[in-house]
Amino acid sequence: MQPFAIKKAEFVTSAGAGSVYPAPMQSEIAIVGRSNVGKSSLINHLCGNKKLARTSQTPGKTRVINFYLINESFFLVDLPGYGFAKASKSEQTQWGSLMEKYLSDGRVKHIFLLLDIRHEPTADDRQMYEWIVYYGIPFTLIATKADKIAKTKRKQAANLVAKQLGAVPYAIPYSVETGDGKDALLQAIDQIVQRGE
Ligand SMILES: Nc1nc2c(ncn2[C@@H]2O[C@H](COP(=O)(O)OP(=O)(O)OP(=O)(O)O)[C@@H](O)[C@H]2O)c(=O)[nH]1
Ligand SMILES: [Mg+2]
């Protein structure tokens, strides 16, 4: 059997606070995590297109919800990150209502929660994790920037982050620099989509 591949990735639309979302597809995977953790970079890397989602060294790059249609069959959704120091009170409130509206809409079927492989999850990460568990949304943990850790320690470090979160101690180590985790994540996506999540 051919391994699952992303053959086509198209930007569909951005949604802000008042926008309508595109008509749902069978599957929808949302990518959540702290600002600067590498959500937009991961989408670009998975899709093999560096220009698809905008990335930046400055946290807070993604401010709206971006929908990407993959293989003309399911959505990958890039969300604005939480927890960046420079965000004002009103920006935080805006972020909260944008996320709340999207995540409680019922259209998201699976969540990729991204955590930095080098750091213990923050209070914001824990809150997000609890929220996901509370709503019973299936999820996959991904430990980003795996290239920052010695190759032999990556699996262990990724699993430790998951354990510290209080989840089943498993996270996929991922690096857009080395390509670590790409095959594993594509395989996971194949199964997620087959389950209709
Ligand atoms: N070394 C390394 N750097 C990475 C990796 N993934 C992302 N980065 C860097 O991390 C920074 C932030 O990446 P983004 O993809 O913009 O992060 P984001 O989570 O989308 O951030 P927001 O849009 O602010 O929520 C950029 O400078 C990326 O180049 C990785 O696997 N390894
Ligand atoms: Mg982003």
Polymer length of the chain: 197
Q: Is the CB of 83 under 6 A from ligand 1?
A: no
Which region among 15-29, 107-121, 173-187 has the lowest average model confidence (pLDDT)?
A: 15-29
Quick one: what percent of the chain has pLDDT higher than 70?
Answer: 98
Q: What is the DSSP string of 42-65?
A: HHHHHHT-TTSS---SSS----SE
Pocket test for ligand 1, best of 56, 78, 91, 124 (most atoms within 8 A of CB): 56
Instruction: Give, using CA atoms, the residue closest to atom 16 of ligand 1.
Output: 55
pTM above 0.75, yes or no: yes
Q: Is the CB of 173 under 6 A from ligand 1?
A: no
Which residues on neighbouring strands pair with residue 76, listed in sequence order?
A: 29, 68
Distance between CA atoms of residues 192 and 77, nearest Å: 14
Which residues on neighbouring strands pair with residue 112, listed in sequence order?
A: 31, 140
Q: Is 8 left (phi over 0), alpha (psi -120 to 50) or beta?
A: beta
Structure tokens at 13: 């639309």
CA-114 nearest atom, ligand 1: 19
Q: Identify the pLDDT of residue 62.
A: 74
CA-57 nearest atom, ligand 1: 27
Grouping H, G, I as helix, E, B as strand and the rest as coil, residue 156 is helix
Instruction: Give, using CA atoms, the residue closest to atom 24 of ligand 1.
Output: 60
Q: Which residue has the higher pLDDT, 178 or 101?
A: 178
Per-residue pLDDT for 5 more than 90? yes
Instruction: Please give the helix or strand (H or E) that residue 121 lies within, else none.
Output: none
- Name the CATH architecture for the domain at 10-194: 3-Layer(aba) Sandwich (3.40)
Distance between CA atoms of residues 132 and 139, nearest Å: 8
Q: Give the model confidence (pLDDT) of 146-159 as tens digits.
A: 999 999 999 999 99
Q: How far is the CA of 38 from the centre of ligand 1 (A)?
A: 3
- Per-residue confidence at 133, pLDDT binned at 50, 70, 90? very high
- Taking the CB of residue 170, how many other CB atoms lie within 10 A of it? 13
Q: Identify the pLDDT of residue 15.
A: 93
> Which ligand approaches the C-alpha of residue 41 most closely?
1
Pairing status of strand 139-144 against strand 110-116 = parallel
* CA-closest candidate to residue 80, choices 94, 90, 65, 69: 65
Q: How far is the CA of 63 from the centre of ligand 2 (A)?
A: 8
- Taking the CB of residue 9, how many other CB atoms lie within 10 A of it? 19
Q: Where are the domains of the chain?
A: 10-194
Q: Is 75 left (phi over 0), alpha (psi -120 to 50) or beta?
A: beta
